[in-house]
Amino acid sequence: MQMQQQQEHAFEFTGSGWEYFKIWIVNLLLSILTLGIYSAWAKVRRLQYFYRNTRLADASFDYHGMPKAILKGRIIAFVMLMVYSGAMKLSPALGITIALMIAVVMPWLIVRSLRFKLYNSSYRGLRFSFAGSDGGAYTVFLLFPILTALTLYLLMPFTHQRIKQYQHCNSQFGDTFFNFDAPVKSFYGVYLKVLGMGLGLGFLAGLFSAVGLTFLLLLLPVVFLFVMAYMAVSLPNLIWNSTTLGEHTIQSKLEVGPYLWISFTNLLGIVLTLGLYIPFATVRMLRYKLEHMSLMAQGDLNEFVAGQEQAISATGEETAEMFDVDISL
């Protein structure tokens, strides 16, 4: 057997802001005119645009979700949201009861959502899939978050690590499993650095507050954005750099400076154009993230083989999306 050569394949994003703008605005119009029904079709187009523009080793990804399955999920999510907000208005006690019920079904929904999302994603004609169990989901999405709250968030990095481990170790491309080996202490490392930075910069701000309150009010948002950007960059880096697919490894090299610049100018653009800049902002951010990721292939990418396919309802995914439990991937 010969030593296999390691080869770096960078992710590429070939989409453009203008092109996406045209798709986005027509999607928005049709969604409004159909009172939201078209949004399921819009979502498929949007994801297909993003997936097909994502290229790796000279082939693109694809999305196969069925609009009708997504619409079904959206209707269920909408009804749940209405019931919740209606109950909250009538009596907080009833609202909290409904919220608790939603919390209890949420892990179940997340599993369906992950299955739907991965099953409907493909690369080179092979589907991804998710094999996580409901029991595992209840542990990481319900039990650990409760423990986290009870320990005043001391367990948050631990819970985050377990969630990613559950998610990535149960994901497959074809019949090849992903693996995730970031130790818990590396998550504590990032969280502690964020906490330290927040405290340190807060202390500095306190010193500067002697200069004047206006100065402090200008400084605080900058400090806040910087810490947020640090977190938004370090966690994906840690997570992806600890993820492997078979014998291939993944690399993510996001940096705080460019990330901060892109998010700040995006925010500015969106506010100044009353939202018309949104598609351009989305494309810019996606391009930055993807083009700083690569797959370190150990040998031939052609050797992946298809796994078993299974039909999955979209309900799980859509309900989870509307309640925004979609954890950053």
Smallest separation (angstroms) from another protein to the CB of 193: 23
B/e letters for 114-152, b = 16+ CB within 10 Å, e = fewer, are: bbbbbbbbbbbebbbbbbbeeebbbebbbebbeebeeee
- Contact characters 63-92, another protein, x per CB under 8 A: ----------------------x----xx-
The correct pick among 9, 37, 62, 326 for binding another protein (CB under 8 A) is 62
- 40/31 Cα distance (integer angstroms): 9
Report in angstroms the alpha-carbon separations of 142 from 106, 149, 280: 8, 11, 36
Smaller CB distance to another protein: residue 5 or 303?
303
The answer to the question of residue 9 lying near another protein (CB under 8 A) is no
- Contact characters 93-132, another protein, x per CB under 8 A: ------------------------------xxxx------
Smallest separation (angstroms) from another protein to the CB of 198: 19
- 289/312 Cα distance (integer angstroms): 29
* Residue 68, C-beta contacts closer than 8 angstroms, at least 6 positions apart: 40
Smaller CB distance to another protein: residue 202 or 275?
275
> By three-state DSSP, how is residue 61 classified?
strand
> By three-state DSSP, how is residue 250 classified?
strand
Smaller CB distance to another protein: residue 182 or 320?
320
Stretch that binds another protein, among 130-138, 238-246, 285-293, 297-305 (CB under 8 A): 297-305
The answer to the question of residue 169 lying near another protein (CB under 8 A) is no
* Residue 325, C-beta contacts closer than 8 angstroms, at least 6 positions apart: 106, 109, 110, 141
The correct pick among 4, 6, 14, 97 for binding another protein (CB under 8 A) is 14
What are residue 252's DSSP bridge partners? 293
Q: Please list every residue from 263 through 282 that binds another protein, using CB under 8 A.
A: 267, 270-271, 275-276
The answer to the question of residue 303 lying near another protein (CB under 8 A) is yes
- 267/282 Cα distance (integer angstroms): 11
Stretch that binds another protein, among 56-64, 104-112, 186-194, 311-319 (CB under 8 A): 56-64
Q: Residue 197 is which amino acid?
A: M
> Residues in the site for another protein, rule: CB under 8 A?
14-16, 19-23, 25-26, 28-29, 32-33, 45, 48-49, 52-53, 58-60, 62, 85, 90-91, 123-126, 174, 267, 270-271, 275-276, 301-306
